[in-house]
Amino acid sequence: MENRDFIINLSILGFENVQMSALIEILEENNIEKEAIFDKKEIKQYKKLFNPTTYNKLLKYRDDFVDRLMTYCDKNSIEIHTIYDEDYPEKLFYIENSPKILYSKGKLRNQDSYPISMVGSRKHSNYANIVINYIVDNLQKHDATIISGMAYGIDALSHKAALKNGLQTIAVLGSGIDKAYPSSNAKLYQDILENDGLILSEYGPGVQPLPFRFPLRNRIISGLSNILIVVEAKDKSGSLITARLAAEQGKEVFAVPGNINSIYSSGTNKLIRDGANILANFDDLSLYLPQISEKEEQEEFDISEEEKAILDYVKSSNATINQIAVDLKIDISKLNSLITILEMKDLVIVNGERIEINMRMLD
* Residue range(s) occupied by CATH 1.10.10.10 in the chain: 305-362
Smallest CA-to-CA distance from 241 within 219, 213, 265, 226 is with 219
Strand, coil or helix: what is 288? coil
Q: Tell me what pLDDT residue 295 has.
A: 41
* Residue range(s) occupied by CATH 3.40.50.450 in the chain: 105-297
Fold of 105-297: Rossmann fold (3.40.50)
Q: Tell me what pLDDT residue 312 has.
A: 86
- 104: which residues sit within 8 A by CB, 6+ positions away? 78, 79, 81, 177, 198, 199, 200, 201
Q: Tell me what pLDDT residue 206 has.
A: 95
Torsion over CA: 82, 84, 88, 93 (sign): positive
Q: Tell me what pLDDT residue 303 has.
A: 80
Q: Tell me what pLDDT residue 301 has.
A: 58
- Identity at 39, one-letter amino acid code: D
Which residues of the chain have a pLDDT value below 50?
293-300, 362-363
Name the phi and psi angles at 146, rounded to 5: -95, 125
Q: Tell me what pLDDT residue 347 has.
A: 86
Q: Tell me what pLDDT residue 354 has.
A: 81
Measure the CA–CA gap between 329 and 324, rounded to whole angstroms: 8
Omega within 30 of 0 (cis) for the link into 205: no
Give the side-chain half-sphere CA count within 13 A for 310. Answer: 31
Strands (E), 214-306: 227-230, 252-255, 277-278
Measure the CA–CA gap between 222 and 252, rounded to whole angstroms: 10
Instruction: Output the CATH code of domain 305-362.
Output: 1.10.10.10
- 49: which residues sit within 8 A by CB, 6+ positions away? 26, 30, 32
Measure the CA–CA gap between 237 and 233, rounded to whole angstroms: 6
Q: What is the DSSP letter of 45?
A: G
Measure the CA–CA gap between 89 and 212, rounded to whole angstroms: 23
Strand, coil or helix: what is 21? helix
In total, the chain counts a number of residues equal to 363
Q: What is the DSSP letter of 174?
A: S
Smallest CA-to-CA distance from 254 within 238, 234, 268, 233 is with 268
Q: Tell me what pLDDT residue 292 has.
A: 60
